[in-house]
């Protein structure tokens, strides 16, 4: 900016300001127009995006596909039986399952790549888990969901959109608040689906 002062007014500064003001107004108008268009949500493991689809098998070999659960809110919990925070979280998850299983589908994804079937079975028995557990034997789904620390949970609404991604062990309070947030977001529209 050069500074040419006429009658106490800095002309260059005033001109720069005017240009920025016009640009700001043009961008706001463009943003309003763009925001009115329906958006096609991408499949990404982040809140606000569609949950990436996957097919995994339960311990008994029964296949579960995420897209088939569309229409119901889903809680996906990535865990491993050897992981201490997962062990700490599991009893609270079971308790919440007992309370919410009619409204929310609970799905445990075991990181079987670093775990074993027998250890998972023993863990389920010990904690009393009776919601479905699927085995991510090759670690593909964990990679798809960018799970680099466990436990990690994804709250997916009935439209298949991730409402929250929570890293770390949740307790009864945080689970209850996330689940009620998930249920209240059921009416959220996911354009472009």
Partner 1 sequence: MSELFGGQHVGPFTFYYSWIGTFLFVVVSIVVAKIYGKHHNLKDVEKFADLILMSVMIWIIIWKGSGMLPVAKDLFVAPVKVLFAAPASGADKAAVIAVILYTVLTVKRVKPVLAEWLDLCAVSITAGLIPFFLLHLELGQQIGWPWGILITGRRYTPVNFYEVFILLCSLVMSLYGAKAIHGLRGSYLLALVGVGSLFVSLFSESLTLWILLSPTQWGLLATGGFGLWGMKRFTTLT
CA distances to 141, 189, 193 from 185, in Å: 25, 9, 16
Which is nearer to partner 1, 9 or 71 (by Cβ)? 9
Strands 55-58 and 9-10: unpaired
* Phi, psi for 65 (deg, rounded to 5): -110, 130
Q: How far apart are CA 21 and CA 3, in angstroms?
A: 19
Which contacts (CB < 8 Å, 24+ apart) does range 99-103 have? 100/179, 101/131, 103/73, 103/183
Query: Interface mask (CB under 8 A) for partner 1, residues 109-138, using x and -?
Result: ------------------------------
Collapsing DSSP to helix, strand or coil, 38 comes out as coil
98-106, 113-121, 128-136, 158-166 -> range binding partner 1 (CB under 8 A): 158-166
Of 46 and 98, which CB lies nearer to partner 1 in the complex structure?
46
Contact window for partner 1 (CB under 8 A) among 38-46, 58-66, 115-123, 132-140:
38-46
Size of site (CB under 8 A) for partner 1: 60
Q: How far is the CB of 13 from partner 1 (least distance, A)?
A: 5
Residue tagged 């108008």 (tokens): 29
State the residues that interact with partner 1 by CB under 8 A.
1, 3, 5, 8-10, 13-14, 16-17, 20-21, 23-24, 27-28, 30-32, 34-36, 39-44, 46, 48-49, 52, 84-85, 87-89, 144, 146, 148-149, 153, 161, 164, 166-174, 177-178, 181, 188-191
């Amino acid at each position: 900016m050069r500074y040419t002062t006429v009658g106490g007014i800095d002309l260059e500064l005033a001109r720069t300001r005017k240009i920025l003001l016009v640009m700001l107004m043009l961008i706001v108008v463009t943003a309003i127009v763009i925001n009115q268009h329906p958006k096609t949500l991408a499949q990404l493991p982040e809140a606000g995006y569609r949950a990436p689809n996957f097919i995994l098998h339960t311990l008994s070999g029964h296949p579960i596909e995420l897209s088939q659960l569309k229409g119901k809110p889903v809680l996906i919990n990535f865990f491993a039986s050897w992981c201490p925070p997962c062990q700490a979280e599991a009893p609270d998850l079971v308790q919440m399952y007992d309370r919410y299983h009619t409204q929310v589908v609970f799905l445990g994804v075991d990181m079987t790549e670093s775990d074993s079937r027998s250890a998972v079975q023993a863990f389920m028995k010990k904690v009393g888990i009776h919601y479905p557990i699927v085995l991510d034997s090759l670690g593909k789904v964990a990679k798809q969901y960018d799970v680099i620390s466990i436990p990690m949970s994804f709250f997916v609404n009935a439209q298949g959109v991730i409402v929250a991604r929570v890293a770390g062990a949740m307790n009864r309070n945080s689970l209850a608040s996330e689940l009620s947030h998930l249920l209240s977001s059921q009416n959220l529209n996911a354009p472009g689906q």
